[in-house]
Amino acid sequence: MPGFELINNKEKTALNKLFDESGILFAHGFDNIRKKYHVREFEKKNQSFFKSKFCLAVSSGTAAIKVALMAMGVKKGDHVVTQAFNFIATIEAILDCGAKPIIVNVDKTLNMDVEELKKKITKKTKVVIPVHMLGSSANTNEIIKICKKKKIRVLEDNCEAVGAKFKKKYLGTIAEVGVFSFDFGKMITTGEGGLILTNNPKIYKYAKEYHDHGHENNPKLPRGRDTKSIYGFNYRMTEMQAVVGKEQLKKLNYILKENLKRHKVLEKNLKNYYELRHILKDTIPNHDTFIFYCEDNYKRKKILEILKKYKIGTKNLPDAIQWHCSYFWSHALSKKECEKSIRTKKILNKAIAIPILVKKKISLYERISKEIAFL
Ligand SMILES: Cc1ncc(COP(=O)(O)O)c(C=O)c1O
């Protein structure tokens, strides 16, 4: 979340420099009149920060999921399993590949219920997409273990947990493929933007070509005479997004540190009064949201009033639950499939997610949490 709060002269200067130096806003071509390829640099910087062999920058997180699924070989008739607490983008990407989304409920970690996943896997399952919702890791290793036995591929949707870790590794780099979003509400932002991370050269090659109309970027040929073997689409990132992204990435460690300070205050003051979101062992969230459960409807109402009074509000829960719970997605899924998410809806209905904003003082989170604790 805090990326947008920290946009300042660094991003502005970088953008101005891009215009002053060349004004080339396109990631490819124009080779004889440019010195820099910012999208490629942004990819390299992500590669070394997150320790992934390959990184491909794309136009959005949604595009990243679609391109990744295509590169993983998803086609018409395949089943792709994902979870009920999610964002509609994942379902849209699955449908866009011609595949069928299969929904698994979440548990009190607010991530995929692994026991239910086991029951939803069939011969038609091609890919499983655990979604690390609101900054915290799914039971990734367990999911990978289950899928490996059945030769099913795993794609981590890490749009909401950039910077979070599982056993010292960054989320998005644990499974065969991972995706990030850099939209305006995410940990770091390029306005709109996304990233695909993988160690698999075949997946990278397909994704690179598919997101760029099939271009192979043959180094021996000018772009206009480039070679091709598949057709694709246009999901390219622009140079403007990339120069902003390079500055934002430099701020990620600071954001993680500041998030943690505010999260710790909320945890200390609320843990004795409310049930907190369950966090899995060996995982480190990115702490961009603090989530707890409140069964009492009267108290819930009061908590929301306090968060409104201090101009903090909530993040997704409960304000945008309709966009984040598949129970409400009858415009995209069958009514029967939606109704299977009832258990998730019940859990989400009791959850409150406080956004962590790094420009808000720690003392404000101290005050808010004490007011909520003593209700
Ligand atoms: C879990 C999840 N997946 C995918 C996306 C899509 O990302 P984008 O907005 O960059 O298309 C989002 C964005 O909110 C998200 O939260």
Ligand 1: centre distance to CA 187 (Å):
12
pLDDT above 70: percentage of residues in the chain: 100
Q: Quote the pTM value.
A: 0.98
Strand-by-strand arrangement of the 54-58 sheet:
54-58, 194-198, 177-181, 153-157, 125-128, 79-83, 100-104
Distance separating alpha carbons of residues 117 and 81, to the nearest angstrom: 8
C-beta of 61 in contact with ligand 1 (< 6 A): yes
pLDDT at 2: 78
At 1 the pLDDT is 64
Instruction: Report the separation in Å between the CA atom of 367 and the middle of ligand 1, taken as the mean of its atom positions.
Output: 31
User: Of all protein residues, whose CA lies closest to atom 8 belonging to ligand 1?
Assistant: 61
Rounded distance, CA 180 to CA 172, Å?
Answer: 7
- DSSP assignment of 3-53, as one string? GGGG--HHHHHHHHHHHHHT---SSS--GGG-S--HHHHHHHHHHHHHT-S
**Does the Cβ of 173 fall within 6 Å of ligand 1?**
no
User: Six-digit token pair at 360?
Assistant: 């808000």
Contact 60, 194 (CB under 8 A): yes
The pLDDT tens digits of the residues spanning 20-61 come to 999 999 999 999 899 999 999 999 999 999 999 999 999 999
Write down all domains in the chain, each with its CATH number in brackets.
2-250 (3.40.640.10), 252-373 (3.90.1150.10)
User: Whose CA is closest to 56, among 172, 223, 161, 228?
Assistant: 172
CA distance 85 to 291: 14
Q: Which of 159, 180, 237, 248 to mutate to test the pocket of ligand 1 (most atoms within 8 A of CB)?
A: 159
Distance (Å) from CA 350 to ligand 1 centroid: 23
**Contact of 178 with 32, CB cutoff 8 Å:** no
pLDDT averaged per 10 residues in sequence order, the chain, 375 residues? 91 97 94 94 98 98 98 98 98 98 98 98 98 97 97 98 96 98 97 98 98 96 95 98 98 98 98 98 97 96 96 92 97 96 97 96 97 96
Do 297 and 352 meet the contact criterion of CB atoms below 8 Å apart? no
